[in-house]
Each structure stands twice: as structure tokens, then as C-alpha cells.
């Protein structure tokens, strides 16, 4: 079959790109389409030199840094992608790309990381990131986002089969689109993150430094506990503001290569995770190192962490709740690193390849 793989945009190598990477492994002859491609050279290895076909948004002013502000134009850009010559379309979608046009006789399978949060439940975040706090421009933006939401709902009907990256997202697909979906957890490179049972006396978080990850809340919690050490690895637009509020017991290391991240994950007393994520690959990587997780108890992490076996949850996204959870974690004593590692092995790359290829064969070929 002639196969097209479509992906929202290439700007960083994160969870969605790991799914794309495995799609390309399974279907090496597929052509790749995306709205824009500004992926740094250091992250491009998985593309193996493939030609990436982009949309007109690639060439708009300041698109490299401010592409999200072009969200109102993205449905048009998606609709202009010409996929007419393909038999099978595989979309890796967390925003708009699942809205690509397909013709009669084509099969469109969407791996949905989440229904588009800008349209459904992160509208306020998008408007603030775009600097639209009030006035006529904000009203216009709200009108456009409502139109995008209606477009998103309408185009969901054209997808032949949905795959969700967690039960949490499967429920969101049902609530937003009134569609059923099959859960296939995203791939985690378990082999790279090896078990280490010797832990040191520090806590760790690894994340893009953006507001919804709630790294500020984690830092503020450790400010309340000056006798405990926190290490933060990651980069992003919030770095300077986080550095400004960090107490002496918090160390911000910025971006680190994967080998350094792995070393910290292997040695950390626990991994702290405060975001409401669709799945959350990084907590699984920490568990693959035998490291327990202290996580906000909402979203996909409820499916990857076993409470009181491989970690614990805090129930409110607040400093008080996190501090209480860390105290509870310390009262519980030691966790079994081997048991934590075994839990992480449920999310291997090999398992994803087997389940996804079987699903595609069933849905596309019958």
C-alpha cells in the first residue's frame, strides 16, 4: 500500500515524536507530511534523512518561534495537504493534523495523543501565550477558537479508526468526538533506562520548562523543605523565572543529554511529577531505572504508576498536597527497585510495535 504519515509539527523530540519514530520504523516506505519542520539537527536522527513535506505555515514570518500563534490558519493548511494518491493515512495528532482530507477508499487511522487542547480545555493558556489578555483581539481570538473547535469535531467524523495513548485520552475522545477508540500505550525505550538499586538522597524532576508542567509548584514545595535536595533537568521559556524562585536546595541543570538524564534518574530517591498529562513517558523512564514516582494523581500517570508499589499520588495540584505526599513517601520506607522496573516493562517499544502494526493490519486490510 501507498502510505502517508502525517504529524502536527516537528519542533522538538518529545512523546509524540517517539510515536512518529516507531511509525516510521514500521512503515519505512511511507511519505511524511507535517505543518512545519524546525526540528533541531541533534534530534533528527530518527528521520533518517527523509524528505519532510511541510505546509505554507513553514514560510510565514516568525514561524520558527511563534508557530502556535498561527493556529487559526492551521485548518486551512491541513486541508491543503495533498494525500490523494495514498491508500492509507496514519496521523499522529495532538492538535489539528487528524483533520486532513481523505478521499473515498482511503483508510485514515489516527493515533490521538489528545483531542486538541487549545480548542477544548486549554483555551485560556493559548490566549495568554499569544498575549491576548483582553480587548477586541481577544474577542476575535475566542471566536476563531470556537470555530476551530467546531471544525475539530466535524473532521473527527472522517477518521476511520482512533487509537488513544491511554484510557484517560480514550475517555476524552468519547466525550469530545463521541467516538470509540483502542488504547495502545506509547513506546518507551525501556532498554536505555537500566535498573540501579543504589539511590542517593535527592529528588528529581525532568521536564520542558513551561507553565502547565507546574515546575514552579515543585520548586516552591522544596523551598518549604530546605533539608531536602531537588534537581531540575530541562529547558524552556520558564527557565529564568524558575531560577529566580529556586532556593539554595534546588539545582536547575538546564538541558542535559540523555545519558546524563539517565544517570540522575538511576540515582534519585524519587521522581516528582506534577503535570496533568495525557500519558507521561518520563515517569515510566524513571520507573525503568527502579526509581519510585511521586505524581499528581490525574491523567495517564494513573495508568503507569501503581500506588504504594511503584510510587504514590498527591490528589491536589498544590504545594501543600505535594509536601504532604513527600512526607508520606518517606514514612513508607523503601520501594523494591526490581518491582518498579518490571512495571515499566509493560510500556516497551517492542510492545508498541506489535500492538500498533496488528491494529493497522486489522483496520486497514481487514
First-last CA distance in the chain: 14
17-56, pLDDT tens digit by residue?
999 999 999 999 999 999 999 999 989 999 999 999 999 9
- pLDDT-derived band of residue 304, with 50, 70 and 90 as boundaries? very high
How much of the chain exceeds pLDDT 90, in percent? 83
Q: Identify whether the C-beta of residue 265 lies closer than 8 Å to the C-beta of residue 271.
A: yes
**Distance, CA of 303 to CA of 98 (rounded, Å):** 25
SS3 214: coil
Q: For position 289, what pLDDT does the model report? A: 97
Residue 119 banded pLDDT, cuts 50, 70, 90 = confident
Question: What's the mean per-residue pLDDT of the chain?
Answer: 94
Query: How much is the pLDDT for 141?
Result: 79
| Per-residue confidence band for 68, with pLDDT thresholds at 50, 70 and 90 | confident
Could you tell me the domains of the chain? 3-187+348-365 (3.40.50), 190-346 (3.40.50.2000)
Q: What is the pLDDT of residues 136-174, one digit of tens each?
A: 877 887 888 889 999 999 999 999 999 999 999 999 999
HSE toward the beta carbon, residue 69, CA cutoff 13 A? 14
Least confident of 86-95, 113-122, 284-293: 113-122
pLDDT of 220 reads: 98
Put simply, whether the predicted model's pTM sits higher than 0.75 gets the answer yes
pLDDT higher than 90, residue 336: yes
Give the DSSP H/E element, type plus range, for residue 107: strand 107-112
Given a cut of 90, is residue 72 above it in pLDDT?
no
**Which positions ≥6 away from 58 have C-beta within 8 Å?**
35, 36, 37
Q: Are 7 and 54 in contact (CB under 8 A)?
A: no
Q: What is the pLDDT of residue 17?
A: 96
Split at pLDDT 50, 70, 90, the class of 342 is very high
The predicted-structure confidence for 164-199, as pLDDT tens digits, reads as follows 999 999 999 999 999 999 999 999 999 999 988 899
Q: Does 199 or 133 have the greater pLDDT score?
A: 199
| Pairwise CA distance, residues 205 & 265, whole Å | 9
The average pLDDT across 216-235 equals 97
For residue 366, pLDDT beyond 70: no
pLDDT tier for residue 325 given thresholds of 50, 70 and 90:
very high
pLDDT of 122 above 80: no
pLDDT at 129: 66
How far is Cα 284 from Cα 306, in angstroms, rounded to an integer? 11
H helix or E strand, kind and range, residue 65: helix 63-66
Amino acid at each position: 500500500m501507498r502510505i502517508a504519515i502525517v504529524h502536527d509539527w516537528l519542533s522538538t523530540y518529545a512523546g509524540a515524536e517517539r510515536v512518529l519514530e516507531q511509525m516510521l520504523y514500521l512503515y519505512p516506505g511511507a511519505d511524511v507530511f507535517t505543518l512545519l519542520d524546525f526540528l533541531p539537527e541533534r534530534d533528527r536522527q530518527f528521520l533518517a534523512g527523509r524528505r519532510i513535506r511541510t505546509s505554507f505555515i513553514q514560510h510565514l514570518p516568525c514561524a520558527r518561534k511563534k508557530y502556535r500563534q498561527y493556529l487559526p490558519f492551521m485548518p486551512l493548511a491541513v486541508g491543503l495537504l495533498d494525500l490523494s494518491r495514498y491508500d492509507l493515512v496514519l496521523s499522529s495528532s495532538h492538535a489539528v493534523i487528524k483533520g486532513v482530507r481523505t478521499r473515498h477508499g482511503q483508510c485514515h487511522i489516527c493515533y490521538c495523543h489528545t483531542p486538541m487542547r487549545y480548542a477544548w480545555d486549554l483555551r485560556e493558556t493559548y490566549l495568554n501565550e499569544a498575549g491576548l489578555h483582553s480587548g477586541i483581539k481577544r474577542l476575535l481570538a475566542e471566536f476563531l477558537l470556537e470555530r476551530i473547535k467546531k471544525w475539530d469535531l466535524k473532521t473527527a467524523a472522517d477518521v476511520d479508526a482512533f487509537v488513544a495513548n491511554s484510557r484517560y485520552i480514550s475517555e476524552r475522545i468519547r466525550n469530545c468526538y463521541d467516538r470509540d477508540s483502542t488504547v495502545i500505550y506509547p513506546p518507551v525505550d525501556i532498554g536505555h533506562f537500566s535498573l540501579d538499586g543504589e539511590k542517593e538522597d535527592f529528588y528529581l524532576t525532568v521536564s520542558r520548562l513551561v507553565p502547565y508542567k507546574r515546575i514552579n509548584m515543585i520548586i516552591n514545595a522544596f523551598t518549604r523543605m530546605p533539608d531536602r535536595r531537588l534537581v531540575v533537568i530541562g529547558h524552556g521559556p520558564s527557565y529564568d523565572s524558575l531560577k529566580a524562585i529556586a532556593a539554595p536546595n534546588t539545582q536547575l541543570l538546564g538541558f542535559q543529554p540523555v545519558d546524563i538524564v539517565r544517570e540522575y534518574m538511576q540515582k534519585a530517591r524519587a521522581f516528582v511529577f506534577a503535570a496533568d498529562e495525557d500519558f507521561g513517558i518520563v515517569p515510566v523512564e524513571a520507573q525503568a531505572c527502579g526509581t519510585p514516582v511521586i505524581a499528581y494523581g490525574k491523567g495517564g500517570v494513573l495508568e503507569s504508576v501503581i500506588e504504594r508499589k511503584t510510587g504514590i499520588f498527591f490528589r491536589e495540584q498544590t504545594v501543600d498536597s505535594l509536601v504532604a505526599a513527600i512526607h508520606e513517601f518517606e514514612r513508607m520506607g523503601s520501594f523494591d527497585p526490581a518491582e518498579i522496573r518490571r512495571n515499566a516493562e509493560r510500556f516497551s517499544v517492542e510492545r508498541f510495535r506489535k500492538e500498533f502494526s496488528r491494529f493497522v493490519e486489522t483496520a486497514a486490510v481487514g
